[in-house]
Amino acid sequence: MRIVIGEGSCGIAAGAQKVYDALAPLLENTGARLGITGCIGMCFLEPIVDIYEKGLLLKRLVRVTPDDAAAIADAVKSDDLSPLDRLAITDEDKSFLDRQTRIALRHCGVIDPEDLNAYLDVDGYKALDKVLHTMSQDDVIAEIKTSGLAGRGGAGFPTWFKWNAAKNAAGDEKYLICNADEGDPGAFMDRAVIESDPHLLIEGMLIAAYAIGAKEAFVYVRAEYPLAIVRLQKAIADATAKGYLGDNILGTDFCCRLRIKAGAGAFVCGEETALIESLEGSRGMPRLKPPFPAEKGYENKPSNINNVETFANVSWIILNGGEAFAAMGTETSKGTKVFALTGKIKRGGLVEIPMGLTLRDVIFNIGGGIRENKRFKAVQLGGPSGGCIPEALLDTVIDYKALSATGAIMGSGGMVVMDETTCMVNMARFFLDFTTKESCGKCVHCRIGTKRMYEILTRITEGEGRPGDIELLEELCDAIRSGALCGLGQTAPNPVLTTIKYFRDEYEAHINEKRCPAGECAALRTYTINKDACRGCTLCAKKCPVGAITGAVKEPHAIDADKCIKCGQCKTVCRFGAVEVR
């Protein structure tokens, strides 16, 4: 029997390592093997413990604590797992995985990410062997072209085209770069793949390196991903020791070395030319294009850049054929896409689905709908560079073209769900705050324009909005989109433009009525006490830090609006629901 504990970052944060430490001594001399795996994507159920027998999953236990270790050990020893039914995953939660189609995530949460043999047991490096012994560079690129694989980092540019351009570029010295600088708030797809299946990334990169003729490869990964870096370092060392990396790979003339560059966390370094600048040791700032990296990239040599998810699809395509990949998805967007489902969602985590499903499918069928059964309001797609899609467009098909038509973008795959309590003006302000701080400052439109937009949005949420602010925001958005140098600046206005387009009434309520319809903007809240509900317990008055609440014991209380600082303590402590917010 094999006991496996999910130890991705999410699992460890939820207490998985404590569960492991509690379980390990109890399983000694039982014959059961205790091991780890990465994140299976069900972050809402962590820590997760899987029990296998001869490769068959017997039982999946969820939300496990160290206090459950003794019961698990006793069940394993007695060979009777029925006492663990109280911890078992429900059929409803099982549907989170059952409704997915997994390619990039196919090994995540299944194999031990720190064991090369575990990867080999699931046909690891067979695609590389096939490429090196039976396929030419052109054959590989043709297969990728047939698959229709587009870059999963956000732009959706055809992968084969970039590979072919780098292959045909003049010069014998070429470089391959993996962009793992995942900076969108709420996005963690790349981190999960590296933590859970690092050899899959390595194999995909090696196939790409062979296709373009590169002997040097880099993974540019955020320093904030320490576990991913540690596991990737081990995977590189193990692959090198076994002949999958380095000189004369698998007995061929192909040689390739792979190095890791830990980035300092600048969002702009997700843009490929800024990433190259950082990789060379300079400040991460975008370059003018053309020339493109395929012509002059790292050290001014031909270079190809793709993100983690793109490379994670490559070995599957080689083994199963480009046509099999292209059979999934839509006419213009092939294959599957990974999303990080976060926010006001019941079942948050990693989701991989074929292109062509709708937003409703993902949010309500896979994600289970909105927490506390509140009303869905919007979903932010594409992070700070994306846009907010309202309830009326929930049946939008997930592909590059359809999402772009809404004003949002696919992006790297962040999907932040919002409910009725979310203020869309404040949400736009949040993303502009992020973009303003992350701007490299190279061009005036982005450096100054995003700052001015943030200031206007802040004024509006603080009750100081003025007539004409909406039109001024739109004017600034147009100027920044047309004048910014790189994709960060060009897409920075998207959250503002989409919230104005779909939630203009909220902007108008803030500006004209000095009211926040969602009740989220503190400066625009008004706290009152419902006299019929108030029991005169005095708890709210005792907790009020400024003495704004008056009233006798067992008599209805009242709030002095002039004294109230809108801290919300009264509503938090009221046990009778008497405090109302408008």
More confident residue, 438 or 236: 236
pLDDT tens per residue, range 548-577: 999 999 999 999 999 999 888 999 999 999
Residues listed for the chain: 582
Average pLDDT across the chain, whole number: 95
Q: Are 142 and 131 in contact (CB under 8 A)?
A: no
Span 336-419: which CATH code? 3.10.20.600
- In the structure encoding, which two tokens stand for residue 111, read together? 């194999």
Residue 383 in this model has a pLDDT that exceeds 90: no
Place of tokens 């309001």: 377
- Grade residue 347 by pLDDT with cuts at 50, 70 and 90: very high
Percentage of the chain with pLDDT > 70? Answer: 100
Supply the pLDDT for residue 272: 92
**Pairwise CA distance, residues 241 & 263, whole Å:** 26
Angle at which helices 126-134 and 308-320 pack, to 10 degrees? Answer: 70
Single-letter amino acid, residue 162: K
Fold of 2-89: Glutaredoxin (3.40.30)
Domain ranges within the chain, ordered by starting residue: 2-89, 116-326, 336-419, 424-512, 525-581
- Grade residue 449 by pLDDT with cuts at 50, 70 and 90: very high
Angle at which helices 424-438 and 444-461 pack, to 10 degrees? Answer: 150
pTM summary value: 0.92
Chain centre distance of CA 58: 30
- In the structure encoding, which two tokens stand for residue 62, read together? 């969820």
Supply the pLDDT for residue 288: 87
Q: Region 453-474: what's the mean pLDDT?
A: 96
Q: 84: helix, coil or strand?
A: helix
Chain centre distance of CA 108: 15
Q: 333: helix, coil or strand?
A: coil
Residue 382 in this model has a pLDDT that exceeds 90: no
Supply the pLDDT for residue 267: 87
Residue 91 has a CB neighbour count (10 Å cut-off) of 8
CATH 3.40.50.11540 fits 116-326, yes or no: yes
Residues near 186 by beta carbon (within 8 Å), at least 6 away in sequence: 340, 342, 343, 380, 383, 414, 415, 416
pLDDT tens per residue, range 264-274: 888 899 889 99
Q: What is the maximal distance between C-alpha atoms in the chain?
A: 89
pLDDT tens per residue, range 311-333: 999 999 999 999 999 999 999 99
Q: Region 365-380: what's the mean pLDDT?
A: 95
Supply the pLDDT for residue 558: 95
H or E stretch including 49? strand 49-53
Q: Region 33-44: what's the mean pLDDT?
A: 96
- Grade residue 581 by pLDDT with cuts at 50, 70 and 90: confident
C-alpha dihedral over 284, 288, 290, 295, to 10 degrees? -30
Q: Which CATH architecture has domain 525-581?
A: 2-Layer Sandwich (3.30)
3-state secondary structure 274-330: HHHHHHCCCCCCCCCCCCCCCCCCHHHCCEEEEEHHHHHHHHHHHHHCHHHHHCCEC
pLDDT tens per residue, range 186-217: 889 999 999 999 999 999 999 999 999 999 99
Q: Are 88 and 333 in contact (CB under 8 A)?
A: no
Q: Region 386-405: what's the mean pLDDT?
A: 94
pLDDT tens per residue, range 209-253: 999 999 999 999 999 999 999 999 999 999 999 999 999 999 999
**Pairwise CA distance, residues 265 & 129, whole Å:** 35
Supply the pLDDT for residue 511: 97
**Pairwise CA distance, residues 128 & 134, whole Å:** 10
Q: Which CATH number fits domain 424-512: 1.20.120.140, 1.20.1440.230, 1.10.1040.10, 3.40.50.1220?
A: 1.20.1440.230
Q: 152: helix, coil or strand?
A: coil
Place of tokens 């003006």: 425
Residue 154 in this model has a pLDDT that exceeds 80: no
